[in-house]
Each structure stands twice: as structure tokens, then as C-alpha cells.
Structure 1
Amino acid sequence: MKLSRRALLASIPAATLLPQRSFADDLSQVTLRVATFRGADQTLLRTTGLDDFPYKVVFSEFNSGNLIARAIDADAIDLGAWSEIPMVFAASSGARVAVAATLEGPTTNQAVLVPTRSPLKSFSDLRGKRVGYIRSTTTQYFLLKMLARHNMTLADITPVALGMSEGLTALKSGSLDAWATYGYAIEILEADNSARILESAEDILSGHYFIGINPQHLGDTGFKTASADYINRLGKAYSQLNADKPRWARAVAPDVHVPEPLVLSYLNHMNRAYHTRPWKPSDIATASEVAHTLGGAGALPPNPNLASVFTPALSSLLNG
């Protein structure tokens, strides 16, 4: 169900809903309202000591990129990251969001799981089965791609859109036959012998994540300077922690409530390091493939104008 702008604003912590302001060149007068996932930006910057910002940062925690895109559209957030999938949904809906940079990342730890004792042996065995996924995320996209690989469509399964916690509960309780998911959930379910990977999405996803920015403030020099500095700091934090996975795991484990050995296993199995950089035209091309797939399944209008969402406003200020 699509939330109204008023309802969305009401669902976001009051601390993020700062009054309208005019950004000044003096960065001490700038406030960035930044979206973070649990164990992500805020944790990484704090761990590496890179949170000594010359501007004010107000973090708000989200659990999916599509909510971050909607919060930027509602002028409740200034900066946040998401995969290609929330971006193409935002672009197709005419949302007031812009892509300022690319965060390259791993494609591992994204897969379709089945209960460990499930009789299902191959993806084709999912015909007629209840398959969960997380709407407007990578799972919706790679599920469609997997179905196509096996000459199947959504009509061949019973798709069930669920949030992360609901999907985890549903798979463990037996109310789902399979679950398309990502992240630490896979490590947790494999570790307690609750589930196994039926098919991995490792070779389906591009590994491109986008850093979205609030286009309503791009006319302010202070806002642009602070935003670029923030992205560069995030890139530096990732660079340090990519080289020290045990430190990364120690920092993240308490925040995500996952045992440190499982976090370290997750980090050690990443097939690519995280890296921030200015976006490139090829990023639009890979996002267009996502849009084509989702459009073909009727999940969004055909041929959204993705290029219009990408802004060069910060490109000359970014490292990488």
C-alpha cells in the first residue's frame, strides 16, 4: 500500500524532520539528515573515527532502500543508499530523488533459501510453491531473473511479499516453501541448520548500489560540499575495514545482534570489496536492465527515464 506524504512523514523519527533552512558556505551551519542501515554508515564511520564531521549529521535507521527513497522524496532525508531496484521504482514514479554516487559492493549473500529438510532439490521444483521475497529490493529482481532462467514466470509460483523479519519467521515456521533474501539472515539460517541455499544470485546482480541525494537542496554550495565530504568519508571507512575484517566484525556484531563469528564469515565470503566512486554511464546501463526485467513482469511502467535521476552535482568533488 502506498503511503501518503503525510503518513510517511509521521512514520519517520521527529529528529529527522528538521525545519526548512538555507545552507550556508560555512559547513558548521549545515545539517545532513542521513539514512543508515543497522550496522552500516553510522557504525562504520564511528569505528574508523571518521565521524568528526565539520557539519552536523542526524542519522535515522531504515531497514530497506525503498523506504529511504520515499523519505528523500518527502524531504525527510537528505542522503541514503539503496540498490538499483529501489532506484528504478523511484525513477518510474517521478519521485524527487537523485543519484549522486555509486557504492560498488558484493553480490554474495543473496539467494533463494529452502528449509534444510525440504525435498526441493532444484529451482524448477518451486513450481506451485509459496516463495517469499522482499518487495522493491534485489530479491524481487533476482527472483524474476531466476524464474526466467528456468522458463518460469511468477504465474508458476505463489509469490508472497514479506518484510525481512516476517520472511524469516515464515520460512522457519514452514509457511513458506522458499524465501528470496539477503544479508545476515542467510548466515543465521545456515548456522542453525534451519535452511540451505537452493540457488544463489551471485552472478545475477551487478553489485551496484547508489547513494541517493535530496535534489531539493543541490542549489546550496554548503549542502553539496558536506554531502561530498560525507560520501568520501564513507568510502575511506570502507577502505579501512575492507583491510581489517575482524575489526569490522567486532564493530558490527553488537549492532546487528548477530554473533561475531557469523558476521566475520559473512564479511570473509564477500566476493567484492565495498568502494565509493562517482557514477558512470555504465551504471545507468545496468540499472536499465533491472528496469526492463521489472517492467516485463508488470512491476513498473516500461522504459522509465533513468538518466534523468543521475546528477553530476557532486562528481567533481568525489574520490574514486
Structure 2
Amino acid sequence: MGVKLPAQRLTTKDLMSKTSHRTRIQLERLTGIHERHVVGPGETSFTLATGAARDCLSHSRHQASDIEMLISTSISRSKGRSSQSFEPPLSLYLKQAIGAAQATSFDLSNACAGMLTGVFILQNLISHGEISCGMVVSGEYISHLSWNAARQIRSLFSKQLASLTLGDAGAAVLLERAPRGSGIDVIGFTTLAEHSRLCLAFPSSVGPGAQMYTKARTLQRVAIEDTAPLVAETIREAGIDLADIDYMIPHQTSARAIRAGTDAFVQRLGARPKHVVINIEEYGNTSSTTLFVALYKCLQEQKIRKHDRVMLLALASGIEIGIAIFTIDNLADSYGHAH
């Protein structure tokens, strides 16, 4: 795994001080977010993704030339601060930048579940012997949504409230066949398209970038109701109990929502994972990279150890729910030595 974070940080207090209207919203108390990383001059989706891919390779025994498939999964695809690259796809620029020119590459978009969707695709190809090594990479420059929301938001009930929780980050993960007794136990996705209009984004009318409208309370309620039975189904397929999960890493929306969701799982399943990771305080919601930024931090701090069982729980607009359960092997040995 690899991560690239912008050096610049923006506190919630500073962000809310720049709103055009006096909102009286206590955003840090509401969400648990103290600060987030935001891009500075010269930083884009491309630079974040490239930095994460290089960091990933630095922790790996592989060279860039070993990568047979590279999947770029970010929502944002900026090479310049106000332009998006769709054709040629960002994945083409990424593989050239890191020296994986021979790899098959393509862009994939599945909202905040993008990176886990890429892992799902590579896991299937590797398990069927189609490839032996692949990379999923994402660079999310989405803080422009926050700035545009700050110009327009007026109250706690604004549909742009969720935009104020966003941060920028790049993440990458390299996949290969795991030794017996480790690796991915189960991974799968469910789409609940009837809720697709709970979160919509458009080009901004007030500044560069985009603006996003979310029915946040409804989205949270629906997500909790629909995710709990899917978690039950997934752990049953893996042949384990929720209490066998050492670390559950959910999509980082707000601390309050994560705790409410965990309580719903516990009530339904009668068991609790040993640890639930909440790192939103210092990163905010970094969209498709959020699960892997959290996992990376746990590895760097040597909280997650060899043989630990981890559950990644992606929740994306659509609604898209993705769950992966895997057992840590030698991955843990490459991190945390400088901590």
C-alpha cells in the first residue's frame, strides 16, 4: 500500500470562518472532523495518485515493470487545477509516470467505493490466473467542493453540508496472489439504485470545480438499514462471527454516523468487532481513498499486526455498498518501523 497526502492542512474552524453567510453550524462537534489535508500549488488528482503509487512500490518487492494491470479509480481526474482528463484517461498518464508502460490500464468510477471496486476486479483476475500482479490507484482532489459549499451554505439543513467534510488524498494498493492462510477471504458489492438521487453533483455555478447536494440524514438512515444485513451475509459467507473481526474500517463520513452504524450491526448480529477505526478527525472524508488512508495509518502505527482479520466497508452514493474481509500477512512487516 501507499498513500500521498498534501502537506497543507485546513482546520474545520478555518473553513467555517470563510463561509459567505453566518451559519452558526458547529461542524467539528457535529462530524468529529478537526482538520483535513488540502492540495496546495501544483497538486492535483494526478500528482496525489502518482505519489501514492510510488510510495506503494517503495513498500513492495515489486518493480513498476511487474504491474500487468493498473486501474485508476478516482472520482476527480485533474491534471490541472480546473480541468479533468477523461480522454486520454488518467490511468494512461499514471502508468507512464511510474514506469509501468506495458501494463493494461483503464479508469473506473464507482463514487467513494472506487478503490475497493478496483480491488474486487483485480482479485477476480488474479484468482483466475489472468494476471499475477496489479495496482489500484486513486488521487482525490475534492476540496473544491468544500470551498464552493462554503460560498453558498446558510444553515445546518443545507444539502451542501456534507461537502464541508471533504479532504484530499492519494492512495494505491498492489495486489498479487497471497500465500495460503492469508489474503482476501470474501469481497462483494451490492447496488441499491433506488437511492441514487440522495447525492448528486454538478459543475459549480459559483467557482471552479463542482458542487454536491446530499440528503445526508436520509442517506445515513438508509445506509445503516441496508448495510447491517449485508454485513451479516458477508461474515456468514466467510464462516466467521463479527467478533472475529480485529479491525473494521468503515467509510469515514462522520464519527457520529460510524458509531450509529456500528451500534446497528451489534444490535442485529449480537457481536461487536474488536476495533472500529475512526480517523476522520485529521483527514475528513477523502472519498474513494478513505478506507486505504485509514488502513495505511493503522499499519504505520503498528496497530494492525500479522494474522489480524480486517473488514473494509465501503459506502458510496448510488447507493453502493462494498465489503471485503481479509487476513493480514507480510503486509504488516513493511510499515511502522520509523514510528
TM-score by length of 1: 0.27
Q: Quick check: which one's strand share is greater?
A: 2
Q: Quick check: which one's helix share is greater?
A: 1
Higher RCO (CA 8 Å, separation ≥ 6 residues): 1
